[in-house]
Amino acid sequence: MAKIFDNITELPSREVVLQTESLVGFESKFNRIYNNLKLLLDQSGLSEWSKKYHQVELPIIYQLKDKYPLIILAGDAGTGKTISATAIADRMTRELKKEGFILKLSTRVRGEGLHGEMGILVNDAFTQLKEQAGKNRLAFLLIDEADAIATTRSTSQMHQEEKAAVNTLIQKIDEIRELNGRAIIFMSTNRLHFIDEAILRRAAIVLEFKRPTKEECIELYQKSLSGITFTNEQLEELAMLSLKKDTDKIGFSFSDIRLKVLPEAVAKAFPHKPLTFDIIKETIESITPSPEIL
Ligand SMILES: Nc1ncnc2c1ncn2[C@@H]1O[C@H](COP(=O)(O)OP(=O)(O)O)[C@@H](O)[C@H]1O
Ligand SMILES: [Mg+2]
């Protein structure tokens, strides 16, 4: 039998926390999601709150209950969608003082699988999710690069089997609501406009991921290189060099800086020289930002 999941991570996880600490801008993203999702995760608490302060159940509560525990993480490649999904799941588990786990639907299986198998895979994934979710155990499912499964059904080239897989997915998202917030689905995508309308409509939140701003670049260099002292002017210069220079160009993604620029700069210094501002600057200038996915 094909392996359904790349891996299962038990939460809370010390390892995930360490990884989360290295992320720039995580707090504000988490807070947005948590503020949105906490209503979904604590439905009886919401009714009690409304009765306590307003004597009635406000109509808005029923609309909130119509939401689905579906979070869409959308944005360009290398902006932190995959890494943030696990970080958010871990943090949510901690905030709610629960235990949990996150399953990642394997992209490999999707690549190999015949179209007809896609529906079966989606089915199996949700079956596992339901089985393992419990009163005190939150179940997270990450469907990474979901556009491979959740593509809009309106495209005419789409095979019947692919349409069936999207339908299955929608049906499973609907069913998961019965778990009253004990199971949460993340979908990541580089191409939000490919995602089926019915799935988009169900999302409790669509969180947008972007390439770093100047301030975020500064923070990223600071975080990654803490221990080396740079002046504010130097940090500013590294950030400016990392941003787009012309209107028709784009700047580095988070992953360009973390996984290309900095390792290459370290390689230039190691093993006989210290890592310096000039080495980093020169490396930035020699690397082209990864192209934007449209
Ligand atoms: N906000 C961030 N702060 C620091 N590093 C980041 C951030 N987002 C992404 N990265 C770096 O980029 C790498 C790729 O991120 P990833 O989550 O795989 O991007 P995506 O799934 O959007 O393509 C991460 O392993 C991490 O090193
Ligand atoms: Mg990714």
pLDDT tens digit sequence for 199-239: 999 999 999 999 999 999 999 999 999 999 999 999 999 99
pLDDT band at 193 (very low <50, low <70, confident <90, very high): very high
Q: Note the pLDDT of residue 10.
A: 96
List CB contacts of 138: < 8 A, sequence separation 6 or more.
Answer: 11, 89, 92, 93, 96, 98, 99, 100, 101, 182, 183, 184
Q: Please report the atom of ligand 1 found closest to the CA of residue 259.
A: 27
The residues spanned by each domain of the chain are 5-209, 214-286
| Helices vs. strands in the chain: H and E counts, helices first | 14, 6
What is the tens place of the pLDDT at every residue in 129-146? Answer: 999 898 789 999 999 989
1 Cβ neighbours under 8 A, 6+ residues apart:
none
pLDDT over 70, % of the chain: 93
Q: State the average pLDDT for the chain.
A: 89
CA 134 to chain centre: 23
pLDDT given for residue 91 in this prediction: 97
Give the residue whose CA is nearest to atom 12 of ligand 1.
Answer: 255
Burial of 224 (0-12, 13-18, 19+ CB in 10 A): middle
Strands (E), the chain: 5-11, 68-75, 99-105, 137-143, 183-189, 203-209
CATH of domain 5-209: 3.40.50.300
> Is the beta carbon of 83 within 6 A of some atom in ligand 1?
yes
Tell me the two tokens of residue 60: 């808005």
The reply to whether ligand 1 has any atom less than 6 angstroms from the CB of 255 is yes
User: What are the backbone angles phi and psi of residue 2, rounded to the nearest 5°?
Assistant: -65, 145
208 alpha carbon, closest ligand? 1
Q: What local confidence, expressed as pLDDT, does residue 1 receive? A: 37
Q: Is the pLDDT of residue 90 over 90?
A: yes
Mean pLDDT of 33-45: 84
Tens-digit pLDDT profile for residues 99-112: 999 999 865 555 55
